[in-house]
Amino acid sequence: MVLDMDGVLWTITYFQHVKPGKGGAFVRTKLKNVLTGQVVEKTFRAGEKVNDVRLERRPVNYSYTDGQLYHFMDKETFEMIPISGDLIGEDQLKYLKENMECEGLVHDGKVISVELPQFVELEVVKTDPGLKGDTAQGGSKPATLETGAVIQVPLFIEEGEVLRVDRREDKYLERV
């Protein structure tokens, strides 16, 4: 959910509803500035009004990076959209690869942020060979993907295989 507070857009990254035994209920939140990536903590009292903002979603394709900015092409208007890496977030950047189709978040006709798909398919470029009998439970080993991300995979995964990964949990799902 995105809120408009004093003309600045904030997205809710965490919230907790607290109802103490004495006094009124309140909601403790962590808010992330949509444009700068700044994170703040704010507490809202019960009944306090906030303005929620509806963001449109539009398909965009990742093209290239010039070191600081990541350039995406809007698939509807074909214009290039530069977005800073801080805004995208380190947790998403480690899964970003060329020509990946993403979702652009649009506010007032302008793409202000980008979200990668939840499940991405990436090739394993480096992993140790798994040996039979290493563990009784099945075990896992680290694997480096083509984008540089490192995740834990089962022992039978080898270099060159393409995997489906849940990028939100940094978790191996299956071979593709």
pLDDT grade for 134, boundaries at 50, 70 and 90 = low
Task: Pick the most confident of 77-81, 111-115, 121-125.
Answer: 121-125
Domains and their CATH numbers in the chain: 2-49 (2.30.30.30), 56-115 (2.40.50.140), 119-175 (2.40.50.140)
Condensed to tens digits (0 to 9), the pLDDT of residues 141-162 reads 899 999 999 999 988 889 999 9
Show Cβ contacts of residue 102 under 8 Å, excluding neighbours closer than 6 positions: 59, 60, 61, 62, 72, 114, 115, 116, 117
Condensed to tens digits (0 to 9), the pLDDT of residues 34-58 reads 877 788 999 999 888 888 888 888 9
Mean pLDDT on 155-174: 91
Predicted confidence at residue 100, as pLDDT, reads 92
